[in-house]
């Protein structure tokens, strides 16, 4: 972690810093990327600016937003693919596998690394999805060359996935930390915004800067 990142982390609320730390400890098998590293990668690919006219299909990067639709509509990363958190975990994983398959078909390359970055509000939902998807891919790799059990794997042609070249990561602190550091976000109309859907007034207290909180209404009471 750089000195700048350490200073940014100090500015976060104590509660959010605690959640980031606990999430990392609870999911030791999940690789995490810092928001600064993540922004550097996306900026290099010109995937953050609405007017960049970059074709995302030409990139070897896949970004997944695992939140509710209301959260996504308020703000998200421009290049993010929305996966509905309200779906069962199995179906969430199927959606990610489908997105990976689409990306591979778009690129028509099997020898390059595919980086999959997942974020949510603070990192908990993203870590769960990354962990589940990693286990699914591992089982698929172990079954490579064997008939696929349709009761276990719901995605067609899963045996074609280049398992060894897929790297999944959770974005540290997810969109709460990203927004707190004033990194680029867009709304449902792809217009730049600084607001974040907080789910509830209690979760909104994780923001030190109150101006980042979307006024709601929120579906949760806690």
Tens digits of residue pLDDT in 182-217: 999 999 999 999 999 988 777 778 877 788 888 876
pTM of the predicted model as reported, rounded to 2 decimal places: 0.83
pLDDT at 199: 81
DSSP state of 108: T
Most confident segment among 37-51, 80-94, 146-160, 195-209: 80-94
Q: Which of 25-29, 52-56, 84-88, 135-139 has the lowest mean pLDDT?
A: 52-56
Q: DSSP for 109-165, please give it.
A: -SSS-EEEEEE-SSSHHHHHHHHHHHHHHHHHHHTTTS---TTT--STTGGGS-GGG
* Residue range 126-144: mean pLDDT, rounded: 85
Structural domains in the chain? Answer: 3-212 (3.40.250.10)
- Where does the pLDDT of residue 57 fall: very low under 50, low under 70, confident under 90, or very high at 90 and above? low
Check whether 63 has a pLDDT greater than 60.
yes
pLDDT tens sequence across 137-174:
888 777 655 444 433 433 444 445 544 578 999 999 99
Place of tokens 């970059």: 54
C-alpha separations of 111 from 139, 142, 188 in Å: 21, 19, 34
State what percent of residues in the chain have pLDDT above 70.
75
pLDDT at 155: 42
pLDDT at 172: 96
- Where does the pLDDT of residue 107 fall: very low under 50, low under 70, confident under 90, or very high at 90 and above? low
- Where does the pLDDT of residue 120 fall: very low under 50, low under 70, confident under 90, or very high at 90 and above? very high
């Amino acid at each position: 972690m750089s000195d700048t990142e350490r200073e940014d982390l100090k500015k976060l609320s104590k509660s959010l810093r605690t959640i980031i730390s606990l999430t990392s400890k609870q999911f030791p098998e999940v690789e995490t990327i810092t928001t600064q590293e993540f922004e550097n990668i996306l900026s290099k690919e010109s995937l953050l600016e609405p007017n960049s006219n970059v074709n995302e299909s030409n990139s070897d990067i896949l970004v997944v937003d695992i939140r509710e639709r209301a959260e996504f509509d308020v703000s998200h990363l421009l290049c993010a693919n929305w996966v509905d958190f309200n779906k069962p975990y199995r179906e969430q994983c199927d959606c990610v596998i489908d997105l990976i398959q689409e990306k591979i078909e778009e690129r028509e390359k099997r020898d390059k690394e595919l980086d999959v970055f997942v974020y949510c509000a603070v990192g908990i939902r993203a870590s769960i999805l990354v962990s589940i998807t990693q286990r699914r891919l591992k089982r698929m790799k172990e079954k490579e060359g064997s008939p696929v059990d349709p009761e276990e794997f719901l995605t067609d042609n899963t045996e074609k996935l280049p398992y060894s070249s897929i790297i999944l990561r959770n974005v540290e602190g997810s969109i709460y930390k990203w927004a707190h550091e004033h990194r680029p976000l867009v709304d449902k109309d792809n217009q730049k915004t600084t607001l974040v859907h907080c789910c509830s007034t209690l979760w909104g207290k994780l923001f030190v800067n109150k101006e980042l909180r979307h006024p709601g209404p929120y579906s949760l009471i806690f």
